[in-house]
Amino acid sequence: MDKGTCVAAGCVRPARIKALCNAHYLRKRRYGDPLGSAPKRTMLERFESKIVRRESGCWEWSGAHFQTTGYAIFNVPSPKDGRWRPATAHRIGYQLFVGPIPDGLNIDHLCRNRGCVNPAHLEPVQQRTNMLRGDAPSAISVRTNRCQRGHEFTPQNTHVRIRNGKPKRDCRECVRERDRARNKTEKRRAQHRAAYWRRKAIASE
């Protein structure tokens, strides 16, 4: 039985349920009006809908995270073309709740939780300060004044070289250990080569 076309204004699709097409019927069920739509939320409302407040004080992000870094993702419109682009949620949260981020500064997580967007746990700092507060081997080395293998950086045990225009410390004891291991490997290879040629000489006799 033909039910005619949808009675919603401007719609020419065939009616399915209660004189409405499927799309307008679902809109009426959801919003109370066949022509209704979801109310537009402000950026702050969108941001707060993704926050889960923990007892520790962290505001855990319930949305997506960058797989490589673990930082939370919040989509914002690009000022150039208006397209939605992913941005780090903790930087957006700091700007929403505190204010603009000073030029040249990074946002550091004082709680060391990369998924936290609580502005009370965020602090704008220099990149070097942010790096030294982290758990990277280089940061630990600077804080403890020891290399990755635990050797102390004394004046006698430290060699400074320039890398990419910046000074870099090398542990002399680590260099000696690498040299000893390399020499041992080369000696073993030389023995294997000598044994190979001896066997080959004996086989040819």
Half-sphere exposure of 204 (CA within 13 A, CB side): 6
Which residues have CB under 8 Å from 67's CB, separation 6+? none
pLDDT string in tens for the chain (205-residue length):
557 888 888 888 888 888 899 989 998 888 888 887 767 788 999 999 999 999 999 999 999 999 998 999 999 988 888 888 999 999 999 999 999 999 999 999 999 899 999 999 999 999 888 887 777 777 777 767 788 788 888 888 888 888 788 777 888 888 899 999 999 999 999 999 999 899 888 887 7
**What is the pTM assigned to this prediction?**
0.59
Burial of 93 (0-12, 13-18, 19+ CB in 10 A): buried
Phi, psi of 105 (to 5 degrees): -110, 150
